[in-house]
Amino acid sequence: MVRRIVLDTNVVVSALRSRRGSSATLLVQAGTGHFEHCLSVALLFEYESALKDPESGITLPQEAIEDVLDYLAATGQLQEVFFLWRPALPDPTDDHVLEVAVAGGCDTIVTYNRRDFRGAERFGVRVVTPREFLIELEDQDE
């Protein structure tokens, strides 16, 4: 069974800031069959805004950022969200990430800000860091 996840924006930003971390490994594995990642139009726009923000610390050229966004859009499972449970999380700006997870039947949100997703478990969604998710994938393959 292929795992379905949502990548929080901070994971995508981190992946483009450093090629060495768990985030970068996850981004490289997106679209390879190790897992499926779900997104919405709103989440893709959030990725774009964060990746192109001059304060993000990303030093890649804009063309490379566009390529990454195109890749995420092409490999992701687009979800239409027909419901809103706002506010459901401590940080209301993260509610749309939870809504994508629920709409996509995802079991996991991958993020560095676990505390922002307290309450996601009420919807059957776990919250883990990129490293924790990679360990789970390795254990699953054994």
Confidence of residue 87 (pLDDT cuts 50, 70, 90): confident
Q: Which residues pair with 128 in a beta bridge?
A: 110
Give the pair of three-digit tokens for residue 140.
């699953």
Tokens of residue 113, six digits: 């800000």
**Per-residue pLDDT band at 93 (split at 50, 70, 90):** confident
Output the 3-class SS for the chain.
Answer: CCEEEEECHHHHHHHHHCCCCHHHHHHHHCCCCCEEEEECHHHHHHHHHHHHCHHHCCCCCHHHHHHHHHHHHHHCEECCCCCCCCCCCCCHHHHHHHHHHHHCCCCEEECCCHHHHCCHHHHCCEEECHHHHHHHHHHHHC
pLDDT digits (tens, 9 = 90+) for 13-40: 999 999 999 999 999 999 999 999 999 9
Note if the pTM is more than 0.85.
Answer: yes
Q: What is the pLDDT of residue 114?
A: 94
CB 46 within 8 A of CB 33: no
Residue 83 pLDDT grade (very low, low, confident, very high; cuts 50, 70, 90): low
Please give the angle made by the CA atoms of 20, 23 and 28, to the nearest 5 degrees: 80
- Where do the structural domains in the chain lie, given as residue ranges? 3-141
d(CA 68, CA 48): 10
CATH of domain 3-141: 3.40.50.1010
